[in-house]
Amino acid sequence: MDLDLSDHHELLRRTVREFAEGEVAPVAGELDRTKSVPYEIIRKLGALNLMGIPFPEEHGGAGGDTLAYALAVEELARVDSSVAITLCAHTSLGTQPIHLFGSEAQKDEWLPRLCAGEILGAFGLTEAEAGSDAANTKTRARLGGGGWVIDGSKQFITNAGTDISGLVTITALTGEGEISNFLVPNGTPGYEQGEPYRKMGWNASDTRPLTFDDCRVPEDSLLGPRGHGLRQFLHVLAIGRIGVAAMGLGLAQGAFDEALAYARQRRAFGRAISSFQAIQIKLADMATEIESARLLVYRAALLKDSGRDFALAAAQAKLKTGRLAVRCAEEAVQIHGGYGYIEEYPVCRMYRDAKILTIGEGTDEIQQMVIARALGA
């Protein structure tokens, strides 16, 4: 088994790392403080062809694979989770459904602009009673007046309300127990974005509720066959877990990097605190767990790229890295001591950003259910 990255993947990693450290890190704290969506960074990511990494070149993508995408997300999350989730939600959830299930006309209309980062895509699944119970959607769509009429609401939706949001893909009931997916462009009458949530973390990303009140879209806004929405979004969520797992891996690595650097320069009792066994044990455990988690994430990506079943590996990677991100961020704050509680230090932001990784894209409990079922339990 070859565990080394290819030259192509290593070059991508270096490129994204240099971008993250040079363009994102200097402004991440201010973006978090002001809760500002990083439009300039998004435009630069688009210019680097990073907003459409895993999509075909004929549709404006970079023609890369899932591993390349995971590497990019990991390197961004190592510095800032808000930028990483903006890319992640746009790619895995906003663009992926169109790439997988869209008609050629839908692909031609949307993919080039999405891949270029000219517009952001969003995915609307979660509702008040349809989160972990994803099939319990209440939003409805009926045929009428030459198109579909949509009524309902969504919550916790990322990227739908920014100044460059292009469209949202939503799930809706089209019959008794029949779920279908629809493309709803921003600006469609009857489609409104609520005010952004006041969140614990990911402050520089856009998350808000959506409402659909007599919202009318053309008949060809249906994404894929009618009634295939459930199987479609379950597949999309499995792919999305690889991206979120890469986010957890990146945050854990970033927290470790900050903790190690601080421990080397912080002195107590006449020497660097990195020389004390209590700190060394924390750092050693963090580094070991991060490397094991990295293997899980990359394996899930490689399984998908080889056309094999990746759902179990994606769930395992997501479960592992979400918990690890929380632990590494907490340990990094502990190593920083009082300074870790001060917003001036990145580990404070990382600590706030980490917890959602055990909740979003399927809670830890849902991942455990997926894993248990795959094991035949």
Query: Per residue in 129-177, pLDDT tens?
Result: 888 887 899 999 999 988 999 999 999 999 999 999 999 999 999 999 9
Domain check: are 249 and 327 in the same one? yes
What DSSP element (H or E) covers 279?
Answer: helix 277-305
pLDDT in tens, 96-109: 999 999 999 999 99
Mean pLDDT taken over the chain: 96
Q: What six digits make up the tokens of 38? A: 């990083």
Q: Is 26 exposed, middle or buried (0-12, 13-18, 19+ CB in 10 A)?
A: exposed
Q: Indicate whether 283 belongs to any domain.
A: yes
Q: Is 372 exposed, middle or buried (0-12, 13-18, 19+ CB in 10 A)?
A: exposed
Q: Indicate whether 64 belongs to any domain.
A: yes
Q: What six digits make up the tokens of 268? A: 């107590």
Residues of the chain with pLDDT under 50: none
Its domain, for residue 319, covers 230-374
> How far is Cα of residue 16 from the mean position of the Cα atoms in its chain?
16
3-state DSSP call for residue 84?
A: helix
Q: Indicate whether 215 belongs to any domain.
A: yes
Final residue before a domain boundary, out of 201, 229, 257: 229
Q: What six digits make up the tokens of 254? A: 């970033």
Domain check: are 81 and 107 in the same one? yes
Name the catalytic one among 127, 330, 361, 365: 361
Report helix, strand and coil shares of the chain as percent, to nearest 5.
55, 15, 25
Return the CATH number at 320.
Answer: 1.20.140.10
361 counts as catalytic: yes
Domain check: are 326 and 366 in the same one? yes
3-state DSSP call for residue 35?
A: coil
Domain check: are 204 and 267 in the same one? no
**Torsion angles phi and psi, residue 152, rounded to 5:** 155, -165
Final residue before a domain boundary, out of 202, 229, 256: 229
Cβ atoms of 132 and 363 within 8 Å: the answer is yes
Final residue before a domain boundary, out of 59, 88, 120: 120
Q: What six digits make up the tokens of 46? A: 């688009």
* pLDDT (0 to 100) of residue 1: 64
Beta bridge partners of 175: 178
Domain check: are 336 and 316 in the same one? yes
Please give the Cα distance from 23 to 75 (Å, whole number).
12
Domain check: are 247 and 369 in the same one? yes
Domain check: are 70 and 126 in the same one? no
Domain check: are 89 and 135 in the same one? no
Q: What six digits make up the tokens of 347? A: 């580990």
How many degrees, rounded to 5, is the angle at CA 45 between CA 194 and CA 291?
A: 95
Indicate the number of domains in the chain: 3
Domain check: are 43 and 33 in the same one? yes
3-state DSSP call for residue 111?
A: helix
Domain check: are 161 and 193 in the same one? yes
Q: Indicate whether 143 belongs to any domain.
A: yes
Return the CATH number at 71.
Answer: 1.10.540.10
Q: Indicate whether 2 belongs to any domain.
A: no
What DSSP element (H or E) covers 105?
Answer: helix 104-116
Beta bridge partners of 144: 147
Return the CATH number at 183.
Answer: 2.40.110.10
* pLDDT (0 to 100) of residue 115: 97
Q: Indicate whether 1 belongs to any domain.
A: no
Cβ atoms of 83 and 74 within 8 Å: the answer is no
Domain check: are 55 and 134 in the same one? no
Domain check: are 236 and 370 in the same one? yes
Q: Indicate whether 60 belongs to any domain.
A: yes
DSSP state of 301: H
Please give the Cα distance from 274 to 264 (Å, whole number).
5
Please give the Cα distance from 260 to 283 (Å, whole number).
7
Please give the Cα distance from 284 to 158 (Å, whole number).
35
The pTM (predicted TM-score) of the whole model is 0.96
